[in-house]
Chains A and B, each alone.
Chain A
Amino acid sequence: MEDRPITILLVEDNPRDVRLLRELLKEVSDTQFLLTSVERLDRALAYLAKKQVDVILLDLSLPDSQGLETFTKIHDHASATPIVVLTGLDHETLTHQVMQAGAQDYLVKGQVHGALLMRSMRYAIERKRTEEDLRRAKDELELRVAERTAELISINSQLQLELEERKQIEESLRISQARFAGILEIADDAIISVDTHQRITLFNQGAEKIFGYATQEVLGQPLDLLLPDRVTKAHHQHVVDFTQTSGKARKMGDRQEIFGRRKDGAEFPAEASISRLNVGGEEVFTTILRDISDRQQAEKALEQLSRQNELILHSVGEGLCGVDLRGKTSFINPVAAKLLGYSVEELLGQSIEVLLPLHKADGTTYALEASPLYAALRKGLVHQGMDEIFQRKNGSIFPVEYICTPIREQGAIVGVVIAFKDITERQMVERMKDEFVSVVSHELRTPLTSIHGALRMLSSGLLDNQPAKGKRLLDIAVDSTDRLVRLTNDILDVQRIESGKVTMKKKVCYVADLITQAIDVMQAMADKAGVTLAMGSVSARLWVDSDRIMQTLTNLLSNAIKFSPPGARVWLKAQEQEKYVLFQVKDQGRGIPSDKLESIFERFQQVDTSDARNHEGTGLGLAICRSIVQQHDGQIWVESALGEGSTFFFTLPLYQPEARHEAHSGN
């Protein structure tokens, strides 16, 4: 303020007073003044509207305003400007009023001097400034208080909101906890928590049910209580390992099969997972455990069933092939694959058309749609194929018998199973049987024809006067009857031995005895044929049916004698080998063609069928010999050179005392 002059508005209508005041101000030499005077209130107001002054010197009696009103109007217009009122001596009340209304000071006209005026104005200015400062400070303070209040209100409502939220969270948490606790309790699985010392801290109802302990019994107890002794050590190690795994705060262990121990000591297989949770700096391990005894039993049963099915599928003698509705193979057993010449893998998923019987038995082909198997697939009907043909991988065909059965699941047809078998062998056997019947029929009819013919001629009386022819016919009838009897006996014999219906009455026999007896029996026949019999024997013993071995030996000797020319020799020899005795019947007869060496042991397979008639054979002798030898676990064969003779060999096992029991019980 000292740097610039003090601006003063003097509102005074008395020019003399104006002049006087100017004079007084000049006396104050240390201060510069800039004084503007107006004589009317309206001018003062107009001036103040345009300019600001440091102080107003105000005479209350103006031409256009009087008394307090003058002050009030000026003060309203320039409330920030200090006003010093100029009054007369008798204006004490008014003076008091204006001071109350806000005037800074008052000066009594006539008693004013320079210093007083100066001091009064300075004080006025200073007081006003202080007042203003105070007011501003107060305003500022109030503003701050208001701001702070607003802030507090905001914080308060924020806190209120947070409080509400917290309440809600707490409520949710309470519900969640209740729900969790409920789940924990009703869960069928055992939920068990342990602390870092492996003491049980949580044991739910599921755990109670599974382990048979009440919660109160186990809380605080070591977890080992629930484990079989043999696994506790391993379990401890497992927990240690798990503890040492770094990383996440919560980690589920891999599920693995373990064993638990119930209160009654019984062990049970379980499936469990372990997890850990850090709660307030302390690790809590929680195990969720399920008793899988029932499941394991069911799995075992299922596995067994599956194995059985697999076994059945693999062990049945028939080819089995599952086919779905698209005509693709869904399963196939090894037999089926083998019969068809494929591997199982090659056939799986293949179209059934690869094996469909597109060929009929007579060699003609079906259209695919006309194949009965295809029709069965389409209609889901059980179809039995008796006389059809399947094709192998290599294109060759074979006769089959099959049954095609629909697979139904919940009433709907989902495919078919084809069970088939290769009937090549059966057809062959049937053919052989037919042939055999045909041969037997022929063999029976032949002597029968002679008998019937001879007797019919004799009974007719036509030969009554030809006794020689009659006698001849009678001989034919008798011979043929003998042959028929032998044939019938042999057929029955071979059939019964081969089918095992005749039991071999085995006992200990000396080889030497058998050979001697056989020679004795055949000696007469040999003598008659002019054939010499020679023998060689061993002291070995056999475990055989002696009658049947005698039958074999005499049969072979009989053949040898029959086919030997007079003067020839027939040998019967035995030779002991490691486990067998080898018998040989050797002749010097005509020999056997090499292509007949095998077949002569078949029924009715003489080298020459006329032999049967010429030599009184039935064509079954060697077949019977073979059956007898085979029933004794031996082998029979022949070696021969045409024109030089034949040697029949057969083996019989040596008697072994330690094997006798078995043989006895077998008989």
Chain B
Amino acid sequence: MKRILVIDNEPYIQEVTQISLETVARWEVLTAGSGKEGLVVAEREQPDAILLDVMMPDMDGPTTFQQLQNNPMTCRIPVILLTAKVQDSDRQRYKEMGMTATIAKPFDPLQLASQITEALGW
């Protein structure tokens, strides 16, 4: 069973994502409401993958990603960006930064698990 960490400052999105992955793929879902919290949880829980929101106050998605990369304890965890802001230029930029994939909001909760599976080659 996979363990997924969802980092999103939107509680409802956290919840919907969680219910979706738990129900559809029967994965264990961990949540964090901010980038900072996400860094702590990721290091402590060592999830199989991280779903990371882009637009968050205090520490946005790309910054959080860099911090995860800078930490040897978290740098190997694949990160999938979950964002409402998906222009081709952004997608390209995120890919260059080393993120595994980008999934657009609003996402289909029934397809989300399979999108992650496919992106990570599970």
- A contact residues vs B (CB 8 Å cutoff): 438, 441-442, 445-454, 456-457, 460, 462-463, 466, 469, 472-473, 476, 479-480, 608-610, 613
By a CB distance below 8 angstroms, the chain A residues around B105 are 445-446, 449
Apart from A441-B85, A613-B12, what 11 extra A-B contacts exist at CB < 8 Å?
A446-B10, A450-B15, A451-B106, A453-B17, A453-B107, A456-B109, A456-B110, A463-B19, A476-B16, A608-B58, A610-B9
By a CB distance below 8 angstroms, the chain A residues around B15 are 450, 472, 476
Check B108 for interface membership: any CB of A closer than 8 A: yes
Check B24 for interface membership: any CB of A closer than 8 A: yes
By a CB distance below 8 angstroms, the chain B residues around A472 are 15, 19
11 A-B pairs whose Cβ atoms sit less than 8 Å apart in the complex: A442-B85, A445-B106, A449-B107, A450-B16, A454-B12, A457-B16, A463-B19, A463-B23, A472-B19, A476-B12, A476-B15
Q: Shortest CB–CB separation between residue B70 and chain A, in angstroms?
A: 25
Partner among A452, A462, A479 whose Cβ is within 8 Å of the Cβ of B24: A462
Do the beta carbons of A446 and B84 come within 8 Å of each other? yes
Do the beta carbons of A442 and B55 come within 8 Å of each other? yes
Given contacts A442-B55, A442-B85, A462-B24, contact A453 B9 (CB under 8 A): no
Interface centre among B10, B11, B12, B57 (most CB of A within 10 A): B12
Check B101 for interface membership: any CB of A closer than 8 A: no
Given contacts A438-B85, A441-B84, A446-B10, contact A453 B16 (CB under 8 A): yes
By a CB distance below 8 angstroms, the chain A residues around B16 are 449-450, 453-454, 457, 473, 476
Do the beta carbons of B9 and A609 come within 8 Å of each other? yes
Encode contact with A along B85-122: 1 for CB under 8 Å, 0 otherwise: 10000000000000000000111111000000000000
Residues of B1-38 whose CB lies within 8 A of A: 9-13, 15-17, 19-20, 23-24, 33-34
By a CB distance below 8 angstroms, the chain B residues around A460 are 110
Do the beta carbons of B85 and A610 come within 8 Å of each other? no
By a CB distance below 8 angstroms, the chain B residues around A457 are 16, 19-20, 23, 109-110
Q: Shortest CB–CB separation between residue B90 and chain A, in angstroms?
A: 11
Do the beta carbons of B84 and A449 come within 8 Å of each other? yes
Question: Nearest CB to that of B111 among chain A residues?
Answer: A456
- B contact residues vs A (CB 8 Å cutoff): 9-13, 15-17, 19-20, 23-24, 33-34, 55-58, 84-85, 105-110
Per the bound structure, the CA–CA distance linking A398 and B22 in Å amounts to 55
By a CB distance below 8 angstroms, the chain A residues around B20 are 453, 457
Query: Which 8 residue pairs are nearest across A and B when measured between Cβ atoms?
Result: A453-B16, A445-B84, A450-B12, A449-B106, A452-B106, A609-B57, A449-B105, A453-B109
Main secondary structure on B side of the interface with A: loop
Per the bound structure, the CA–CA distance linking A608 and B34 in Å amounts to 12
Q: Shortest CB–CB separation between residue A615 and chain B, in angstroms?
A: 12
Per the bound structure, the CA–CA distance linking A476 and B15 in Å amounts to 9
By a CB distance below 8 angstroms, the chain B residues around A610 are 9, 33-34, 57
Partner among B55, B56, B58, B106 whose Cβ is within 8 Å of the Cβ of A453: B106
Partner among A438, A456, A480 whose Cβ is within 8 Å of the Cβ of B12: A480
Do the beta carbons of B110 and A608 come within 8 Å of each other? no
By a CB distance below 8 angstroms, the chain B residues around A613 are 9-12
Question: Nearest CB to that of B58 among chain A residues?
Answer: A608
Per the bound structure, the CA–CA distance linking A442 and B9 in Å amounts to 13
Q: Shortest CB–CB separation between residue B115 and chain A, in angstroms?
A: 13
By a CB distance below 8 angstroms, the chain A residues around B10 are 446, 449-450, 613
Q: Shortest CB–CB separation between residue B15 and chain A, in angstroms?
A: 6
Q: Shortest CB–CB separation between residue A94 and chain B, in angstroms?
A: 169
Q: Shortest CB–CB separation between residue A267 and chain B, in angstroms?
A: 77
Question: Nearest CB to that of A441 among chain B residues?
Answer: B84
By a CB distance below 8 angstroms, the chain B residues around A451 are 106
Partner among B13, B19, B85 whose Cβ is within 8 Å of the Cβ of A449: B13
By a CB distance below 8 angstroms, the chain A residues around B17 are 453
Do the beta carbons of B108 and A456 come within 8 Å of each other? yes
Per the bound structure, the CA–CA distance linking A479 and B105 in Å amounts to 18
Question: Nearest CB to that of B23 among chain A residues?
Answer: A462
Per the bound structure, the CA–CA distance linking A451 and B110 in Å amounts to 14
Per the bound structure, the CA–CA distance linking A479 and B24 in Å amounts to 24
By a CB distance below 8 angstroms, the chain A residues around B107 are 449, 453
Per the bound structure, the CA–CA distance linking A450 and B53 in Å amounts to 14
By a CB distance below 8 angstroms, the chain A residues around B58 are 608
By a CB distance below 8 angstroms, the chain A residues around B110 are 456-457, 460, 462
Q: Shortest CB–CB separation between residue A11 and chain B, in angstroms?
A: 165
Q: Shortest CB–CB separation between residue B29 and chain A, in angstroms?
A: 13
Question: Nearest CB to that of A610 among chain B residues?
Answer: B9
Per the bound structure, the CA–CA distance linking A476 and B14 in Å amounts to 11
Per the bound structure, the CA–CA distance linking A454 and B106 in Å amounts to 11
Per the bound structure, the CA–CA distance linking A460 and B19 in Å amounts to 13
Per the bound structure, the CA–CA distance linking A514 and B57 in Å amounts to 36
Q: Shortest CB–CB separation between residue A456 and chain B, in angstroms?
A: 5
By a CB distance below 8 angstroms, the chain B residues around A453 are 13, 16-17, 20, 106-107, 109
Do the beta carbons of B12 and A479 come within 8 Å of each other? yes
Q: Shortest CB–CB separation between residue B30 and chain A, in angstroms?
A: 18
By a CB distance below 8 angstroms, the chain A residues around B85 are 438, 441-442
Question: Nearest CB to that of A472 among chain B residues?
Answer: B15
By a CB distance below 8 angstroms, the chain B residues around A438 are 85
By a CB distance below 8 angstroms, the chain A residues around B12 are 447, 450, 454, 476, 479-480, 613
Per the bound structure, the CA–CA distance linking A395 and B117 in Å amounts to 56
Do the beta carbons of A446 and B23 come within 8 Å of each other? no
Per the bound structure, the CA–CA distance linking A445 and B106 in Å amounts to 7
Per the bound structure, the CA–CA distance linking A472 and B55 in Å amounts to 25
Q: Shortest CB–CB separation between residue B37 and chain A, in angstroms?
A: 12
Do the beta carbons of A473 and B9 come within 8 Å of each other? no
Per the bound structure, the CA–CA distance linking A232 and B110 in Å amounts to 107
Per the bound structure, the CA–CA distance linking A453 and B82 in Å amounts to 13
Q: Shortest CB–CB separation between residue A69 and chain B, in angstroms?
A: 162
Per the bound structure, the CA–CA distance linking A555 and B34 in Å amounts to 28
Per the bound structure, the CA–CA distance linking A451 and B106 in Å amounts to 9
Q: Shortest CB–CB separation between residue A100 and chain B, in angstroms?
A: 160
By a CB distance below 8 angstroms, the chain B residues around A456 are 108-110
Q: Shortest CB–CB separation between residue B99 and chain A, in angstroms?
A: 19
Q: Shortest CB–CB separation between residue A438 and chain B, in angstroms?
A: 7
Q: Shortest CB–CB separation between residue B51 and chain A, in angstroms?
A: 13
Question: Nearest CB to that of B11 among chain A residues?
Answer: A613
Per the bound structure, the CA–CA distance linking A279 and B110 in Å amounts to 123
Question: Nearest CB to that of B84 among chain A residues?
Answer: A445
By a CB distance below 8 angstroms, the chain B residues around A446 are 10, 13, 84, 105
By a CB distance below 8 angstroms, the chain B residues around A479 are 12
Per the bound structure, the CA–CA distance linking A457 and B12 in Å amounts to 14
Question: Nearest CB to that of B105 among chain A residues?
Answer: A449
Per the bound structure, the CA–CA distance linking A225 and B10 in Å amounts to 99
Per the bound structure, the CA–CA distance linking A466 and B106 in Å amounts to 24
Partner among A447, A469, A480 whose Cβ is within 8 Å of the Cβ of B19: A469
By a CB distance below 8 angstroms, the chain A residues around B84 are 441-442, 445-446, 449
Per the bound structure, the CA–CA distance linking A438 and B58 in Å amounts to 18
Q: Shortest CB–CB separation between residue B67 and chain A, in angstroms?
A: 19
Q: Shortest CB–CB separation between residue B81 and chain A, in angstroms?
A: 14
Per the bound structure, the CA–CA distance linking A473 and B34 in Å amounts to 22
